[in-house]
Amino acid sequence: MTTPSKRIALVTGANRGIGLETARQLGKEGVTVLMAGRKEAAIQAAADTLAGEGLSVRPVVLDVVSEDQIAALAKLIEADYGRLDILVNNAGIITGESFFDNSTRTVSAEALRQTYEVNFFAPIALTNALLPLIEKAPAGRIVNLSSILGSLTVNRDFGSDWGGAKPLAYNSSKAALNMFTVGLAAALKDTPIKVNSAHPGWVKTDLGSDAAPLEVVDGAKTSVALALLGNDGPTGSFVHLGETLPW
């Protein structure tokens, strides 16, 4: 193994939407991006697209809820690169709910379990498995893709623009992810590693729908900025396009 001179990033859910655009923007900044996705054909096609744009990318198959696949990926990164500079926990779902309804009284236990598996348990498992490799980087960066809907402050403001958007499984999973961000940032406060939550905005994706006001290129900007933070940047913060958000 030759120690790479370029920064190495892993972006989950990178076959489409914000994840794909995050990989593209990091690649344009000279980062080698491991693009992770569940389906081999889909992630290979996405990687081929970015490689065709002259970017340094590599597709990797990863179902974020699979412990075996997480372990295998950690071994691959260790063997081929020796470290990981950037981890973007981008993969996420909403299931059994609508963004525009208050599902607190109706959400099913199954929807809660499925949402937490992908949006909360998986990022923790993946991050902890890869943390020894991130610790080998000169200045590791961990970005958790959250949502303004995970803000307790915003949810408590019943008159806010987001006041009617209360899908319980989704919102609470993102609030829990924010707690992971704060806890991990505190655990790593005496290291060069920075851990932050990103709110991408309401973006035109399969998840956000065509009703969203932001284009995908703008939705990726916050994750990319946090992934490329300088040594004077924040840690343990919740950010959207440079603005610190309320927890």
**Could you tell me the maximum CA-CA distance found in the chain, to the nearest angstrom?**
56
C-alpha distances in Å from residue 150, one per residue of 45, 141, 179, 216: 32, 21, 10, 20
pTM of the model: 0.95
Look at residue 4 in the predicted model and tell me its pLDDT.
Answer: 73
Query: Strand, coil or helix: what is 60?
Result: strand
Catalytic-residue membership of 170: yes
Instruction: Dump pLDDT digits (tens) for 11-36.
Output: 999 999 999 999 999 999 999 999 99
Give the span between the Cα atoms of 120 and 183, in whole angstroms: 13
Place of tokens 């974020």: 64
What band does 129 get if pLDDT is binned at 50, 70 and 90? very high
Cβ atoms within 10 A of the Cβ of 106, count? 11
Q: Examine the pLDDT at 1 and tell me if it is beyond 60.
A: no
Summarize the confidence of residues 177-199 as an average pLDDT. Answer: 98
The share of the chain scoring above pLDDT 70, in percent, equals: 94
- Predicted local distance difference test score (pLDDT) of residue 205: 65
Looking at the predicted structure, is the pLDDT value of residue 137 above 80? yes
CA 130/CA 132 separation, integer angstroms: 6
Q: What are the pLDDT digits (tens) for 50-60?
A: 999 999 999 99
* Domains (range + CATH), the chain: 8-244 (3.40.50.720)
Residue 22 in contact with residue 11, Cβ under 8 Å? yes
Q: Are 64 and 11 in contact (CB under 8 A)?
A: no
SS3 at position 166: strand
Per-residue pLDDT tens digits for 192-237: 999 999 999 876 566 656 666 568 899 999 999 999 999 999 999 9
- The closest of 195, 207, 204 to 88, measured between CA atoms, is 195
- 54 Ramachandran zone, left/alpha/beta (phi>0; psi -120 to 50): left
Residues 6+ apart with CB under 8 A from 83: 3, 4, 8, 77, 133, 134, 136, 137
Catalytic residue among 81, 99, 120, 170: 170
pLDDT digits (tens, 9 = 90+) for 63-122: 999 999 999 999 999 999 999 999 999 999 999 888 888 999 999 999 999 999 999 999
Selection from 216, 78, 89 nearest residue 145 by Cα:
89
Q: Are 56 and 33 in contact (CB under 8 A)?
A: yes
